Amino acid sequence: MDGNLFDLISRRIKSPSKVFLDTEAGVRMTYADMLTRSAQLANALVLNGVEPGDRVAVQVEKTPECLLLYLATLRAGAVYLPLNTAYTLAELDYFLADAEPKLVVCDPARREGIADIAKRRGVHAVETLDSDGKGSLTQIAAKAPKDFADVPRAPDDLAAILYTSGTTGRSKGAMLSHRNLASNAQVLAEYWRFTDNDVLLHVLPIYHTHGLFVACNTLMLAGGAMLFRPKFDADDVMRLLPQATSMMGVPTFYTRLLRHPKLTQTACAHMRLFTSGSAPLLAETHREFKAKTGHAILERYGMTETGMNTSNPYDGERIAGTVGYPLPGVALRVTDGETGKILPQGEVGIIEVKGENVFSGYWRLPERTKTEFRADGFFITGDVGKIDTRGYVHIVGREKDLIITGGFNVYPKEVEIEIDALPGVVECAVIGCPHPDFGEGVTAVVVKSAGATICEQDVLAALDGRLAKFKLPKRVIFIDDLPRNSMGKVQKNILREQNAKLYT
């Protein structure tokens, strides 16, 4: 049997006339449309020289065509490489150099800048796709045949590379196979009871594992439909909830919905499931949402490298502040970060996972990959947590001070490097401080050199255009010295405590 995830998706289509996507433009795309249009796009990829195993880098706005491009890439046996639309040209240069894609698909507005980089980095072709799903790529596809001979893949062949930020400032490409993606989506469809009667309200971005794999792969395997919208907007969501059965979100969605005057039990009467992940959901949000709507948000935990690892139960108790049980097929343990020894239940340590969902390693970083896996195949997630007496997993922090703002990861080091390089700055520490809207707000604590006049606005102006907008500090604070422990390490916990009320 073919290991290509697309083969599995297409074999699951029971009724081609069933709705696949309902779009903002009011267009209903059926599963039959999905098959023909992704075939045309797959032909367009081949016409651009894309061969099995080649990377296809995509930095475009969320549109139905972008989702079809992902499917087309699978069909062509190539490797899908989605990039956050917020990444700057400087950041793209790194990704193109590292991943060496055969084709880059970008917004027409960025074509010129990207074409320059692409040429330097040996990329074969650059095509465009705009926020209306139009561009040079869809023009080629429109003239291409409506069928395509899908390229068979072995289960361990690569399906996608998703870049994660690195604490050293260097992003790493997580290599995900067809097996990784297919197994996780199958488990989730079953665990969360998705069927072809489901209509998922899809308002997450699709350059990230949550919106692309957790949401789209799961729904496609169940044969369900998606109300596919470019982004989260609380008014839109409230308007669409009566047509939906389910929604997947980051905690920020729920805190925003809670502030919406129309959020009531009646407004959610048609819904059967709300899930949350990518960042910790405050227990308070969970409780408030339950009180207002009658729905207990189902919190789950996963990461780019592993897909989903744990989930609160569908039928059993969904406990606020926990991420539930390890999913079927996922082995999860908590170990001592220093010794690697497995810790007894209840003790806090590093979470390690193993299963078909876990990636095979970081792109072209075999040495780095080795250090992130134990000899028995467990992946060291870097998340700090525990398993309670009922078997529920709790995430209590992040080993490496990762900041999660509005569901997006920001590694402090990436921002610190930029600020440290500014004239008048001695050093800085970038931390996450509790933020009512974003979960955490990126905050820079800066030490200036004697006599320097650099101010908050200067720092923010200097970073603009150097870093994606979501990574920019929300506040810049100046202090005389960074607190350090006896080993000389900056004590970020003290800085976090000092600034705990900065945004509240």
Binding site for ligand AMP (CB under 6 A): 164, 209, 277-280, 299, 301-304, 323, 381, 383, 395, 398, 404, 409
Cβ-based nearer residue to ligand AMP, 180 or 209 = 209
Chain mean position to CA 111: 24
Q: What is the DSSP string of 261-296?
A: TT--TTTTTT--EEEE-SSPPPHHHHHHHHHHHS--
Cβ-based nearer residue to ligand AMP, 148 or 254 = 254
Contacts of 5 (CB under 8 A, 6+ apart): 74, 159, 178, 181, 182, 185, 217
State in angstroms the smallest separation of the CB of 12 from ligand AMP.
25
State in angstroms the smallest separation of the CB of 280 from ligand AMP.
4
State in angstroms the smallest separation of the CB of 255 from ligand AMP.
14
Nearest to residue 473, comparing CAs of 418, 406, 422, 415?
Answer: 415
Cβ-based nearer residue to ligand AMP, 101 or 277 = 277
State in angstroms the smallest separation of the CB of 331 from ligand AMP.
17
| Residue labelled with tokens 């067809």 | 178
Taking CA atoms, 6 is separated from 37, 150, 159, 386, 481, in Å, by 14, 8, 10, 36, 55
Cβ-based nearer residue to ligand AMP, 38 or 217 = 217
Cβ-based nearer residue to ligand AMP, 335 or 381 = 381
Cα distance between residue 357 and residue 178, in whole Å: 10
State in angstroms the smallest separation of the CB of 107 from ligand AMP.
22
Token pair listed for 303: 């990461």
| Residue labelled with tokens 């409780």 | 287
| Residue labelled with tokens 């050199």 | 449
State in angstroms the smallest separation of the CB of 163 from ligand AMP.
10
Cβ-based nearer residue to ligand AMP, 172 or 448 = 172
CA atoms within 13 A on the CB side of 329: 18
Cβ-based nearer residue to ligand AMP, 280 or 406 = 280
Radius of gyration of the chain (CA): 23
HEC letters along 115-128: HHHHHHCCCCEEEE
Q: How many CB atoms lie within 10 A of CB 368?
A: 14
Nearest to residue 127, comparing CAs of 73, 119, 95, 135?
Answer: 135
Cβ-based nearer residue to ligand AMP, 77 or 324 = 324
Cβ-based nearer residue to ligand AMP, 121 or 202 = 202
State in angstroms the smallest separation of the CB of 401 from ligand AMP.
11
State in angstroms the smallest separation of the CB of 304 from ligand AMP.
3
Contacts of 90 (CB under 8 A, 6+ apart): 466
| Residue labelled with tokens 């599963």 | 31
State in angstroms the smallest separation of the CB of 217 from ligand AMP.
15
Query: Could you say which DSSP state residue 79 is in?
Result: E
